[in-house]
């Protein structure tokens, strides 16, 4: 699957690139009851077929507050452009009160372990990557360092996915695609598990 995804995204079907993409897919597969996985379970509890359940989850992930963080982190890296501008870009955003997309996760106050792993994977892959890919990864490193120096939060999964996509010389937008394809395996697992429970998921509302 990783080889097919790499090829579909226009990447080089090199063994090291495919292994990095595979790790990104695995680390994206599941993250308990996030919005899209919960949507898949609700659809499954209603008896929807597997395609409808995955479609519902994918539509939820299309929301910018859930699946759009990779694209926003890419935009942050593009705004910096090169490592020497990272501190200025981060400082300007923090001064304006703008969010630093790709950083911080409320479940991981000490740092998202998935992001740390994927950044390491990207660094290993970058040793044999084209010069533009290595340069883009250096900009990501500079952004992570700049946010840390400014007292910001550690990078989240989205930043790690972008780092891998950059090191693999994949086109812009590939990071979010990797996350969605990887998460599809998790959605299917949630659907199959939910079908073992005959009850309909029906949260209650408390009116105030």
CB contact at 8 A, 97 and 152: no
- DSSP structure class, residue 108: -
> Cα(42)–Cα(44) distance, rounded to whole angstroms?
5
CB contact at 8 A, 152 and 160: no
190 noted as active-site residue: no
Q: Tell me the backbone φ, ψ of residue 3, rounded to 5 degrees.
A: -65, -40
Q: Per the residue annotation, which of 101, 112, 158, 190 is the catalytic one? A: 158
> Cα(90)–Cα(140) distance, rounded to whole angstroms?
12
101 noted as active-site residue: no
Q: Is 195 exposed, middle or buried (0-12, 13-18, 19+ CB in 10 A)?
A: middle
7 noted as active-site residue: no
CB contact at 8 A, 130 and 87: no
> Cα(57)–Cα(153) distance, rounded to whole angstroms?
28
Q: Per the residue annotation, which of 7, 14, 22, 66 is the catalytic one? A: 66
Q: Per the residue annotation, which of 101, 105, 112, 190 is the catalytic one? A: 105
Residues catalogued as catalytic = 66, 105, 158
């Amino acid at each position: 699957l990783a080889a097919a995804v790499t090829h579909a995204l226009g990447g080089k079907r090199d063994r090291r690139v495919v292994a990095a993409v595979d790790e990104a897919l695995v680390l994206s597969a599941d993250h308990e009851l996030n919005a899209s996985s919960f949507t898949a379970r609700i659809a499954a509890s209603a008896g929807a077929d597997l395609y409808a359940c995955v479609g519902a989850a994918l539509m939820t992930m299309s929301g910018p507050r859930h699946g759009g963080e990779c694209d926003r982190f890419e935009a942050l890296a593009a705004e910096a452009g090169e490592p020497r501008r990272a501190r200025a870009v981060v400082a300007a955003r923090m001064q304006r009160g703008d969010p630093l997309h790709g950083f911080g996760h409320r479940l991981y106050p000490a740092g998202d372990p998935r992001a740390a792993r994927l950044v390491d994977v990207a660094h290993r892959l970058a040793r044999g990557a084209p010069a533009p890919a290595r340069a883009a990864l250096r900009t990501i490193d500079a952004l992570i360092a700049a946010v840390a120096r400014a007292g910001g939060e550690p990078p989240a999964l989205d930043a790690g996915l972008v780092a891998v996509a950059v090191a693999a010389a994949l086109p812009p937008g590939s990071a979010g695609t990797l996350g969605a394809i990887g998460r599809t395996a998790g959605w299917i697992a949630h659907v199959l598990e939910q079908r073992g429970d005959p009850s309909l998921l029906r949260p209650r509302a408390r009116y105030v």
